[in-house]
Amino acid sequence: MKTENQALFEKFHLLKSNAGTHSPSITTIKSELPELEIKVDACFLSNPYATELFLKYFRKELIDTGEINRVLEFYPSQNKEISQLVGGHLQIDPSRIFIANGATEIIQAIIHNFVKEKLLINIPTFSPYYEFALPHTEVIYYNLKKEENFRLDPDDYISFVKENKPHTIVLINPNNPDGGYLSHNEMIRLIQELAWVPNIIIDESFIHFAFENSSLELPSIVSMMDQFPNLYIIKSMSKDFGIAGIRCGYAIMPPDKVKQLLKTGYLWNSGGLAEYFFRLYTRKDFLKEYEEVRKKYITESLFFVTELGTIPKIKVYPTKANFVLIEILNGKSADEISTELLLNYGIYVRNCSDKIGLNGQFIRVATRYKLENEYIVKSLREVFHK
Amino acid sequence: MKTENQALFEKFHLLKSNAGTHSPSITTIKSELPELEIKVDACFLSNPYATELFLKYFRKELIDTGEINRVLEFYPSQNKEISQLVGGHLQIDPSRIFIANGATEIIQAIIHNFVKEKLLINIPTFSPYYEFALPHTEVIYYNLKKEENFRLDPDDYISFVKENKPHTIVLINPNNPDGGYLSHNEMIRLIQELAWVPNIIIDESFIHFAFENSSLELPSIVSMMDQFPNLYIIKSMSKDFGIAGIRCGYAIMPPDKVKQLLKTGYLWNSGGLAEYFFRLYTRKDFLKEYEEVRKKYITESLFFVTELGTIPKIKVYPTKANFVLIEILNGKSADEISTELLLNYGIYVRNCSDKIGLNGQFIRVATRYKLENEYIVKSLREVFHK
């Protein structure tokens, strides 16, 4: 490694260690390490075409009209007013909807308020699910097995749950960081057989990238909510709609839980832009265009993953999300490969060394624009042909 | 009342009752009651000159440059990265700073996590302080006395606290909804004499409108934090900086409390625009201009309150905030007067009938632009000359 790269490398690792079990944001990297040129942010899990679509509406309806002034100056609507809107759109009783400042706020709200005793987490996972657990909560882990491509085996999982009797279970579908997917029917079977578990949390933050037929239709479990009073569905809007900076998400949960949360908090937790987004989210014109960019992005992601699969000395795990988990098979570590990609190619990937349940040989790579995907494939091919 | 007004009146009261102990937002009113023309929103407590200043920077630095795309697309920095910035600006150890999605998130965080047993609230007050209390918390009230202009009497308050031994006390300074102000020296005396109370919450959300000398300097208690390990200072940015739609605030509290909150939550609770605002908040160029609009607004507010004081059949309570509590002395109720102002003059004021500690004879009127203030004075003069 060149000396200048060594210095950069050390600074970058310091930022990474300050960010805990998350990656330093692109904002932080740009402000702390301006000398580092990031060409492709493949750490960030987001549909860039959806961002463009949102920005088109944002510029036309808020900036060009001057309406933005009102959006930033005044208080946004209260939580339950926004849930009325979203409920109408989803055809779900608004009393079941909890509007939040990003999905992490929902995870915190549920884990802090409704999770008693044993919390079962599948690993590898999105770390806030266990990090947000309060001291009185016992966290137990179910290992997704590498030899089964980190895919959840419903029978084995059901036996594990029966044996360990957790109070709360969490199913992220598709799962982060591996992209493993439980089909709609498998999910229904799971929640039917586990109907006795007091809380079942299903995180559908990446469901917009999943599909079960060639018309790429959405297989969400939301329509089943009425039948299962123990379900909590969590939905981030950051990934599928490409608006992580706006912070919005929602959950669907039992009405008494929503009532309990709103009784003592979460009054004005949506910003003005989040409210604008939620209003767009209920509009036919926006959703028609969104559906096009969703399918375009999925199609490009499918091509990207197929191309990655032709690179030697890596294993590409099956995914139905907008990212892919890659195992490094050339003897190098994830630290080495992610640093090489960053410093020599300007490609920022997720080094998964800090993920419980993964050893130091895994990186996660997000799908981005078509040209960026091509650059990632070309660069990885170079790195692994050495 | 004319028939069309009667129908509007009924619709408006329904909105108001749906908003609980808060007022329906201007966004809600505009979307639910488009036929209602609001000329002046004197319910909303915010410096409009500060909004203009923020928007100037926002347009120049985010919109014209295209930088807004990045701000909305990517994850903002984590909580503790933003507290580093704010800490540097305030010359306070960042480990004492908790960055939040508006002051209501801070109130919720403190009340839910650190308030045990007895919570003492002065009434009238900002309702989330008692509404957010969890079932195990006993809320007790200290009555600010009408005959003392709702001004807190330090000696009487200290005796009350000694007698009732609350675990947590809350002092909003200046107080909402009456604008009553405790001087810097009175506040220091209070916190010295009550140093044995486990938690003292001081809400300085309106402190930017207070002053103790003719150069209108800021009398914040922040500089005293190190000497009092039981203090929590809460600071909304919505009012003084005119950006309620962005949702940002911060608290200064004991480092172990900040650590406890961040250990199990609040990871990405600032949006991209909140992060941009916090960066502005640490910049000399912005703060220099802000100081000018702050003083301009205070000066206009002083004039406004003086003019209101010349109107017969109302009592204007002394204030050091950007609003004034008005008692109605012509025999009509706050319901009647606020409806008359809204329907006949397009002036939206805060009807204080739902405030514990106030009977139905009080309205709260915010300072707005100079011309709007003049229109409010003229209209109130008409209403009370009838």
DSSP states along A8-32: HHHHHHHHHHHTTTSPPPHHHHHHH
Check residue B121 and report its DSSP letter.
Answer: E
Query: Residue A32: its pLDDT value, please?
Result: 83
User: Chain A residue closest to B266 (CA)?
Assistant: A105
Query: Residue A219: its pLDDT value, please?
Result: 76
Binary contact (B134, A264; C-beta < 8 A): yes
Average the pLDDT over B380-384 and give the result.
96
Q: How far apart are CA B176 and CA B127, in angstroms?
A: 10
Binary contact (A105, B58; C-beta < 8 A): no
Cα dist from B183 to A54, B189, B210, B219, whole Å: 48, 10, 9, 8
User: Chain A residue closest to B69 (CA)?
Assistant: A55
Q: Report the relative pairing of strands B347-348 and B138-143 from DSSP bridges.
A: unpaired
Average the pLDDT over A268-295 and give the result.
96
Q: How far apart are CA A366 and CA A198, in angstroms?
A: 34
Residue B374 predicted with pLDDT over 90: yes
Cα distance from B6 to chain A (closest Cα, Å)?
24
> A58: which chain B residues are within 8 Å (Cβ-Cβ)?
72
Mean of pLDDT over chain B: 93
By C-alpha distance, which of B22, B27, B53 is closest to B38? B27
Q: Which residue intervals of B39-148 are DSSP H helices?
A: 48-58, 68-73, 79-90, 103-114, 128-131
pLDDT above 90 as % of chain B? 82
Beta strands in chain A, from DSSP E residues, in sequence order? 40-41, 97-100, 118-123, 138-143, 168-172, 199-203, 231-236, 249-252, 314-316, 323-328, 347-348, 350-351, 362-366
CA A18 to chain CA centroid, Å, is 21
B347 HSE (CA, 13 A, CB side): 26
Rg, chain A, Cα only: 21
Binary contact (A112, B265; C-beta < 8 A): yes
Q: How far apart are CA A63 and CA B63, in angstroms?
A: 8
Binary contact (A46, B73; C-beta < 8 A): yes
Cβ under 8 Å to B: A residues 109-138: 111-112, 128, 131-134
CA A159 to chain CA centroid, Å, is 27
Residue A139 touches chain B, beta carbons under 8 Å: no
Query: Residue B258: its pLDDT value, please?
Result: 97
Residue A45 predicted with pLDDT over 60: yes
Binary contact (B265, A70; C-beta < 8 A): no
DSSP symbols for B152-185: --HHHHHHHHHHH--SEEEEESS-TTT-----HH
Binary contact (B133, A264; C-beta < 8 A): yes
Query: Residue B204: its pLDDT value, please?
Result: 95
Query: Residue B348: its pLDDT value, please?
Result: 95
Q: How far apart are CA A348 and CA A328, in angstroms?
A: 16
pLDDT above 90 as % of chain A? 81
Residue B33 predicted with pLDDT over 90: no
Residue B49 predicted with pLDDT over 80: yes
Considering only residues B163 and A13, tell me which one the structure prediction assigns the higher pLDDT.
B163
Average the pLDDT over B270-283 and give the result.
96
Cβ under 8 Å to A: B residues 22-41: 22, 25-28, 41
A184-193 and A154-164 are packed helices; what angle lies between their axes, rounded to 10 degrees?
20
Q: Among B101, B245, B275, select the one facing A74 at the smallest CB separation.
A: B245
Residue B340 predicted with pLDDT over 60: yes
Query: Residue A18: its pLDDT value, please?
Result: 81
Average the pLDDT over B277-298 and give the result.
97
Residue B11 touches chain A, beta carbons under 8 Å: no
pLDDT band at A52 (very low <50, low <70, confident <90, very high): very high
Cα dist from A170 to A173, A250, A361, B349, whole Å: 10, 16, 25, 47
Torsion of CA B58, B59, B62, B64, to 10 degrees: -170
Residue B182 predicted with pLDDT over 60: yes
pLDDT band at A3 (very low <50, low <70, confident <90, very high): low
* Residue keyed to tokens 């036919």: A284
Cα distance from B68 to chain A (closest Cα, Å)?
9
Binary contact (B264, A48; C-beta < 8 A): no
pLDDT band at B3 (very low <50, low <70, confident <90, very high): low
Q: How far apart are CA A265 and CA B107, in angstroms?
A: 9
B367 HSE (CA, 13 A, CB side): 30
Choose the weakest-confidence range: A24-33, A274-283, B34-43, B91-100.
Answer: A24-33
Cα distance from A175 to chain B (closest Cα, Å)?
20
By C-alpha distance, which of A89, A152, A52 is closest to B73? A52
Maximum distance among all alpha carbons in chain A? 62
Cα dist from B263 to A131, A132, A236, B266, whole Å: 7, 7, 21, 8
Pick from B74, B115, B269 the residue to mutate for testing the A interface (most A CBs within 10 Å): B74
Query: Residue A2: its pLDDT value, please?
Result: 57
Query: Residue A158: its pLDDT value, please?
Result: 98
* Residue keyed to tokens 């999300």: A321
Average the pLDDT over A151-165 and give the result.
97
pLDDT band at B5 (very low <50, low <70, confident <90, very high): confident
Q: How far apart are CA A203 and CA A274, in angstroms?
A: 20
> A14: which chain B residues are within 8 Å (Cβ-Cβ)?
none
CB A136 within 8 A of CB A258: no
A-B CB pairs within 8 A amount to 184
Size (chain A), residues? 386
Cα dist from B203 to A347, B126, B173, whole Å: 45, 10, 6
Record the tokens describing residue B151, joined without a space: 């001004």
Query: Residue B29: its pLDDT value, please?
Result: 83
The answer to whether the predicted template modeling score (pTM) of the entire model surpasses 0.90 is: yes
Average the pLDDT over B358-382 and give the result.
96
Mean of pLDDT over chain A: 93
Cβ under 8 Å to A: B residues 253-282: 263-275
Q: How far apart are CA B273 and CA B182, in angstroms?
A: 33
Cα distance from B384 to chain A (closest Cα, Å)?
30
Query: Residue B2: its pLDDT value, please?
Result: 57
The dihedral sign for the CA sequence B362, B363, B366, B372 = negative
Binary contact (B134, A101; C-beta < 8 A): no
User: Chain A residue closest to B240 (CA)?
Assistant: A73
Residue B20 predicted with pLDDT over 70: yes
CB A268 within 8 A of CB B104: yes
